Amino acid sequence: MRQGGAAMVYKLADALSLHRLILNYMNPVTNVSFDDTAVAFSSKSDAELYKMYLLFKSMNSNTFVKVGGSLLNLALNLHLPVKFIIKPTIFNHFCGGETIEESERAIQELARYNIGTILDYSVEGEGDEKSFNATRDELLRTVEKAKGNPNIPFSVFKVTGLIDIKLLEKVQARQELTADERAAFERGRERVNAICQRCFQANVRVFVDAEESWIQETIDNLTYEMMELYNREKAIVYNTYQLYRHDRLEVIKRDYEQAVERGYFVGAKLVRGAYMEKERRRAQEDGYQDPINPNKKASDALFDEAVRYCVEHLDRIALCAGTHNENSSYLLMELMEEKGIAPNDERIFFAQLYGMSDNLSYNLAKAGYNVAKYVPYGPVEAVMPYLLRRANENTAIAGQSSREFGLIRKEMERRKKAKR
Ligand SMILES: Cc1cc2nc3c(=O)[nH]c(=O)nc-3n(C[C@H](O)[C@H](O)[C@H](O)COP(=O)(O)OP(=O)(O)OC[C@H]3O[C@@H](n4cnc5c(N)ncnc54)[C@H](O)[C@@H]3O)c2cc1C
C-alpha cells in the first residue's frame, strides 16, 4: 500500500516535470524562464564572464579538481603562499571576502538586482570554548550588520560552531552527561540563545542550518525552544528540513501541529541535504536503517511535497526554498500563482549560494520574488573546505559539463551573436 502510494507520487512528479518542461517555452503561468542567461549574467561584464568561463572550465575537469584540490591542501598545510592564486579566482567567485567589511562589494552587487545577502561565517573553529565564544561574537556582528538593512534579510548559523559536536551527539544518544558536560551544554545553549534573542530584538530572521542526522535531533530541539521564545508574532527563527531524509515531511507536519498548539510560528528552510555519502556510510557501518531516501527521484518528490505542504499552511509557516533545483523552483512559483500569493509575500523566499545558479536568483528577483543568497566569508585558509566542495560539485558529471559551465558558454555565445 505504502509502496503503491510512493509510486503514484513519483509518477505525478514525472508528469509535472514534463508539464513544466513544456511550460518553460510557453511560460503562461509565471513568465519566468531560468534559461534566460541575459538576465542571469546581467551583472557581469564580458571580461568578468570570460573569467568565470575560465574558472568553470578548470573546475569542469575531474582530474584538475582532484589533483588541484590535493595540491592546494598540501600547500596550505605547508604554509606556502598560495593565497594569491586562490583569492582572486575561486575564492572571489564563491565568497564575499575575508571579513564582513570585504563582503560589502558582494552585498551591493546583489542588492542592485534586488537580491538579498545572507552573510555566512564559514569558519570551522578549533572546537573549544574560546573558539565557540569567538564564533558567537562574529555571528552577533552579522546580526548587527543585518539590522535595519533590507539588503540582508537573514542571518545564519550552524549549531556546531557554538557547541561541541561530540556533546551534541551524546545528548542525542541520551548518554549520561558528566557535570562538566552538562555545564558545557548549557553554555552552548546560551550562545544559541544569545544569537536568536539578538535577532529577535533586531528584527532579523535567522536560519539554523541542518547538519548530520546523529546530531540533528539535538539541533531541532534547541531550535524549537528558540522558535517558541521568539516566533510569537512571526517567524524569526527558521529550522532547516533536509528532504533527502525520508522522515522529514512527517517532522514538518508534527512541528506545524505543535506550533498551532503552543501558539507560535514555524520558520522552515527546505533543502535536500548535503551529507548524503556520510549518512549512508555511517548507517551501513553501524547497521541501522539508512535515513536517506533510496534515490534522487524520491528526494525530489519529497522536497516538492514539503513545498506544497508549507504553501498550504502559510497561516503558521514561513518558508524558504534553499535550492538550485529548477523544477522545485518553478513548482513553488506555480503554487504561489495558483493561490494568488504575491511574489514578494514576506512568508516565502527562494535562496541559493553565492556564485551558483544565478540563472535562478537573477530571473526570480527580476520577476519580483524574494530571493537571497548565502554569501560565505572568512579567512581564505578557513573556507578552503567549502571551496573544495563547490569545486567538486562543478566537475563534469558523466562526461557532461556542469550546469553552470553550460550556462556561461550559452551566454558568451549569445553576446557574440548579438554583436554581429
Ligand atoms: C540557500 C541554501 C541553504 C542550504 N542549507 C543547507 C543546510 O542547512 N543543510 C544542508 O544539509 N544542506 C544545505 N544546503 C545544501 C542542499 O542541501 C543541497 O545539498 C544542495 O542545494 C543541492 O540540492 P538542490 O536542491 O539544490 O538540487 P539538486 O541538485 O536537484 O539535488 C541534489 C541533492 O539531491 C539529493 N540526492 C542526490 N542524489 C541522491 C540519491 N541518490 N538519493 C537520495 N537523494 C539524493 C542530495 O540531497 C543532493 O544534494 C543549502 C543549499 C542552499 C542553496
Per-residue pLDDT tens over the stretch 276-302? 999 999 999 999 999 999 999 999 999
| Lowest mean pLDDT, pick from 126-135, 256-265, 379-388 | 379-388
d(CA 238, CA 240): 7
Predicted confidence (pLDDT) at residue 353 exceeds the cutoff of 50: yes
Greater pLDDT, 66 or 313: 313
Q: Flag whether pLDDT at 6 surpasses 70.
A: no
Least confident of 285-289, 343-347, 383-387: 383-387
Which residue among 207, 269, 271, 354 has the greatest number of ligand 1 atoms within 8 angstroms of its CB, and so is best to mutate?
A: 271
pLDDT, residue 11, reads 53
| Ligand 1 pocket, mutate which of 115, 272, 324, 352 (most atoms under 8 A from CB) | 272
CATH of domain 97-377: 3.20.20.220
**Any atom of ligand 1 within 6 Å of the Cβ of 374:** yes
Q: What is the pLDDT of residue 239?
A: 98
- Is the minimum distance from the CB of 157 to ligand 1 under 6 angstroms? no
Q: Whose CA is nearest to atom 25 of ligand 1?
A: 323
- Residue 352 near residue 324, CB atoms below 8 Å: yes
Q: Where are the domains of the chain?
A: 1-95+382-420, 97-377
Question: pLDDT, tens digit, for every residue of 152-206?
Answer: 999 999 999 999 999 999 999 999 999 999 999 999 999 999 999 999 999 999 9
pLDDT tens digits, one per residue of 74-89? 777 777 777 888 899 8
How far, in Å, from the CA of 244 to the mean position of ligand 1? 8
As a dihedral over the C-alpha atoms of residue 366, residue 354, residue 88, residue 127, rounded to 10 degrees, the angle is 160
Average pLDDT over residues 107-123: 96
Distances (CA, A) of 19 to 27, 179, 305: 11, 59, 17
The Å distance, Cα 296 to ligand 1 centre, comes to 10
Distances from the Cα of 363 to the Cαs of 38, 41, 271, 319, 384, in angstroms? 9, 10, 20, 19, 29
Q: Which whole number is the average pLDDT over 346-358?
A: 96
Name the helix (H) or strand (E) containing 413: helix 403-419
Bigger pLDDT: 1 or 389? 389
**Do 243 and 296 meet the contact criterion of CB atoms below 8 Å apart?**
no
pLDDT band of residue 397 (cuts 50, 70, 90) is low
Q: Does the Cβ of 291 fall within 6 Å of ligand 1?
A: no
- C-beta separation of 153 from 370 below 8 A: yes
Q: Of ligand 1's atoms, which has the minimum distance to the CA of residue 303? A: 25
Kindly tell me if the per-residue pLDDT of 9 is higher than 50: no
Spatial distance between the Cα atoms of 194 and 141, rounded to a whole number of angstroms:
12
